Amino acid sequence: MVFVDSPLANRATTAFRKYADELEDTGGRDVFGHPSIRYVNDVAESMKLNTMSGAIIMAASGMCEAGRIRHHLFYNLPRRDSTILFVGFQAEGSLGRVILDGAKRVRISGRDVQVRAQVREIDSYSAHADQAELLAWIAKRGPIAGSLLLDHGEKESIAELRRLAESQSLAPSLVVPEIGETWELPPGQPARRTKTGRVDLRPALGRDWQNDYADLATSLKRRLAEIRDAEARRKAIAQMRAVLDSYSEFREHKKGKHH
């Protein structure tokens, strides 16, 4: 049985079913009404899915940052008989990316979860345009009299897209906005920045300390067990505690200087 567990996706599917005869490769058939597909809207029914085995659960991921996918991950990631299959892009720093990159433990809603399930990826279902398609789309909307703003992408990808856009002279002004910036877009003129960005928010765009902590917590007991001498283990623990204490003392020292 296939369960589609996403109220938003269910509403979108209703629209697709209404215009099924307009879709490619369906032959006019109602492929969304197959008897093996069940659309889940009720929260209680959604939670019951985690007690089942042999089911396929389709939940819109949002890169695993929100929605019902999170409670499915919480219950299924520790199961060796489960498979987590990603079919969409997972941005750096997102829970989906951390899982996809091979983390052995992750944090979900403040709780540590071990990753024992098989993790797989299929990228052929992505509906996003690739680099060449984006450049072609921009070119067809030329000439651009104002600015071309490039956003919503990883740093390296945006930098390369900007380089290619500049080499093809797609716009007289190319802007890569920083997080927190505000830009004014006057007609036919270059964009004007009216508010600077938030430097303190830059680290939030990528992998954060909690991801690193989860990885460390996963391997810590094993790494300590590899130290054969019990006294050496105690020494290693004392050294780690001393490092953490040194940061606390540094913070208190800085706090005292400001008072």
What is the spatial distance between Cα 1 and Cα 24, in angstroms, rounded to a whole number? 25
**First-to-last C-alpha distance (Å) of the chain:** 64
User: Which class would CATH give 2-121?
Assistant: alpha beta
Structure tokens at 87: 């079919």
6, 39 Cβ separation under 8 angstroms? no
Task: Name which of 204, 9, 216, 5 is nearest 91 in CA terms.
Answer: 204
pLDDT for 253:
57
Q: Which residues of the chain have pLDDT under 50?
A: none
Structure tokens at 156: 């390296």
CA distances from 105 to 155, 203, 214 (A): 26, 21, 6
pLDDT for 203:
60
pLDDT for 256:
57
Radius of gyration of the chain (CA): 25
154, 167 Cβ separation under 8 angstroms? no
pLDDT for 103:
87
36, 69 Cβ separation under 8 angstroms? no
pLDDT for 4:
93
What is the spatial distance between Cα 93 and Cα 103, in angstroms, rounded to a whole number? 12
Single pTM value for the model: 0.64
Query: Would you list the domain boundaries of the chain?
Result: 2-121, 131-196, 228-259
Q: How many CA atoms lie within 13 A of 176 on its CB side?
A: 14
Tell me how many degrees the CA angle 49-125-13 measures, rounded to the nearest 5.
55
86, 95 Cβ separation under 8 angstroms? no
pLDDT per residue as tens digits for the range 146-199: 999 998 777 888 999 999 999 999 999 999 998 888 999 999 899 999 998 776
pLDDT for 151:
86
Q: CA 222, 224, 226, 228: dihedral to nearest 10 degrees?
A: -140
